[in-house]
Amino acid sequence: SNAVQALTMELFPQVHVNQDGNIVRPAAADHPPFSVPESLSDPVSSVDVTIDSSSGLWARIYTPPNPSGKPLPFVVYVHGGGFCFLSPASVEYHQLATHLASDTSSVVFSLAYRLAPEHRLPTAYNDLLAAFQWLYSPNARRQLPASADLSRLFLIGDSAGGNIIHNALNIGAPAEVLESLRGVVLLQPYYGGEERTESENRWSNEHAYLTMPFSDVCWRLALPDTDPPSTRGHLFCSPPASGLPAVGLMLVAGGKDVLKDRCLRVAAELEKLGRGAVELH
């Protein structure tokens, strides 16, 4: 609809939503090269690797300077974009991963999961699980930097990326991942539901980056194409906290963000599960 297109253009002017809901994406290369931001004193190298040639699944790996040659923690980063937009090659995520690798002295693996509506959920969840399998394969060992220490694994995801991590862990990560996992960071993870929460009603306004009309569009484009149609009552929108492993977890929710109340629900569930006190800042 025109309303859907207008909402999409507001945030992602490089794409076009057709009347049937399909998205027309730019014809540019899937993952063009980017230079390292000049603000970094030490260059971070990046390389793209193919995880599955049949599906087109790929990732960009960032390696910081490592003069000592010591093993470096390994971060799997899953980007946001409402399941429908952006990639590791988007300027904002390329720069974010570059800074993350430099600032934390970690190898960062930024996953280019397949996007909806061409690939509706649970495709993105399955892509992350496929990436997990690949990381612990002989093929990956030949392509990962020698400094990558997969026994110190961290998962970080923002918005839709946080939802993808949560749901993939609920489905079931490989044993190697669970044994190596040292921490999970969910940055304003993208949860949803049929009834509006107080924060959704209060903070969905002209100043918000994510508004509820746009959020509704993303869910409509991303949820499974079923008959009757999937609704925001789907389990993917509000996964149980019990599926999150008992490791260090940081759950970040903005004080004036529409997703705040849904993030606090997950925090409350974790507290009930005995995962320790939840600190609010």
Convert the pLDDT of each residue in 70-97 to its tens digit. 999 999 999 999 999 999 998 899 999 9
pLDDT of 82:
96
Closest CA to 249 of 233, 266, 232, 235: 266
Residue 57, beta-bridge partner list: 52
pLDDT of 13:
61
Give the C-alpha separation, 188 to 200, whole Å.
13
**Phi and psi for 52 in degrees, rounded to 5?**
-145, 105
pLDDT of 29:
47
Which CATH code, of 3.40.50.720, 3.30.10.20, 3.40.50.800, 3.40.50.1820, is assigned to 2-272? 3.40.50.1820
Residue 62 CA from chain centroid, whole number: 16
The structural domains of the chain, with segments of one domain joined by +, span 2-272
Strand duo 23-24 + 248-252: pairing: unpaired
Residue pair 271/278 in contact (Cβ under 8 Å)? The answer is: yes
Provide CB contacts within 8 A for 136, sequence distance 6+: 150, 174, 176, 177
257: annotated active-site residue: yes
Segments of the chain with pLDDT less than 50: 29
Q: Which of 102, 158, 238, 257 is catalytic?
A: 257
pLDDT of 203:
94
pLDDT tens, position by position, 95-133:
999 999 999 999 999 999 999 999 999 999 999 999 999
Provide CB contacts within 8 A for 98, sequence distance 6+: 36, 37, 40, 44, 46, 62
Q: Which of 46, 110, 159, 230 is catalytic?
A: 159
Q: What is the pTM of this model?
A: 0.91
pLDDT of 74:
99
Closest CA to 258 of 216, 209, 195: 209
pLDDT of 209:
85
Closest CA to 81 of 97, 66, 92, 67: 92
The two counts, helices (H) then strands (E), for the chain are: 9, 9
Residue pair 192/233 in contact (Cβ under 8 Å)? The answer is: no
Residue pair 114/57 in contact (Cβ under 8 Å)? The answer is: yes
Residue pair 135/179 in contact (Cβ under 8 Å)? The answer is: no
